[in-house]
């Protein structure tokens, strides 16, 4: 996949990003409302009959991220069934834009206050073919708070939502052979993603 940022200096990336986001069929308000609705639904969920998330059980960040990963596409496809559907085959992005796959979107979540991570393969050479789908393209990234188990009344919230385009080369695999995470480079995070929501202080 050709990058829209090819051969451009970093100072021009943000202009390209704003154009990409502005031309995308998903608008920022819809993304924010669906992410926040997904989070609220997770916190309202009961497990095993009567066990309330955030009251009786406190899932770790990976589980909460998985819930978001499932609910965001489900809510999008319910709201806009003629345009969006969930991933079906391994070549699909997390959320598929039915009229034109070029606008399909990946979702990445993290309990880190500011960054998001792919698995190690995201930052490795030739990783485009590892899962059958391109690692380049549109991304929704979500940063959320962890549960405060000692003070369960302090409900965790969504901290940041970003939307934009990430290229395969923007993921930086950890140098250690045992490292599993590939964070987005700071340059890409700040210039290829638009901050569309931030929790009020």
Q: Tokens 């489900």 map to which residue?
A: 74
Distance separating alpha carbons of residues 186 and 175, to the nearest angstrom:
17
Please give the pLDDT value at position 198.
96
CATH architecture of 10-198: 3-Layer(aba) Sandwich (3.40)
Distance separating alpha carbons of residues 28 and 108, to the nearest angstrom:
16
Sequence-distant (≥ 6) Cβ neighbours of residue 145 within 8 angstroms: 111, 156, 157, 158, 159
Distance separating alpha carbons of residues 139 and 105, to the nearest angstrom:
5
User: To which H or E segment does residue 192 belong?
Assistant: helix 186-192
Residues 139/87/54/109 CA torsion (nearest 10 deg): -20
* DSSP assignment of 40-89: HHHHT-EETTTEEBTTTB---HHHHHHHHHHHHHHHHHHHSTTTEEE--S
Tokens of 190: 């700040």
Q: Say what angle helices 28-43 and 61-79 make with each other, to 10 degrees.
A: 130
* DSSP assignment of 102-123: GG-EEEEEESSSS--EEEGGGG
The ranges of the chain with pLDDT < 50 are: 125-129, 178-179
- This prediction has a pTM of 0.90
pLDDT in tens, 56-78: 999 999 999 999 999 999 999 99
Please give the pLDDT value at position 125.
46
């Amino acid at each position: 996949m050709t990058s829209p940022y090819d051969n451009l200096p970093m100072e021009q990336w943000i202009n390209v990003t704003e154009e990409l986001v502005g031309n995308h069929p998903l608008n920022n308000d819809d993304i924010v409302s669906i992410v926040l609705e997904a989070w609220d639904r997770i916190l309202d969920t009961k497990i095993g009959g009567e066990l309330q998330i955030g009251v009786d059980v406190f899932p770790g960040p990976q589980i909460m991220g998985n819930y978001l990963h499932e609910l965001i596409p489900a809510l999008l496809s319910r709201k806009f069934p003629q345009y969006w559907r969930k991933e079906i085959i391994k070549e699909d992005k997390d959320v598929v834009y039915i009229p034109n796959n070029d606008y399909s979107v990946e979702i990445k979540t993290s309990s880190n206050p500011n960054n998001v991570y792919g698995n190690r393969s995201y930052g490795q050479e030739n990783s485009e073919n590892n899962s059958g789908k391109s690692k380049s393209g549109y991304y929704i990234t979500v940063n959320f708070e962890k549960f405060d188990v000692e003070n369960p009344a302090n409900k965790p919230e969504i901290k940041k939502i970003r939307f934009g385009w990430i290229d395969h080369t923007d993921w930086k695999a950890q140098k250690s052979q045992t490292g599993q995470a590939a964070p987005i480079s700071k340059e890409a995070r700040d210039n290829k993603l638009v901050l569309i929501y931030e929790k009020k202080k």
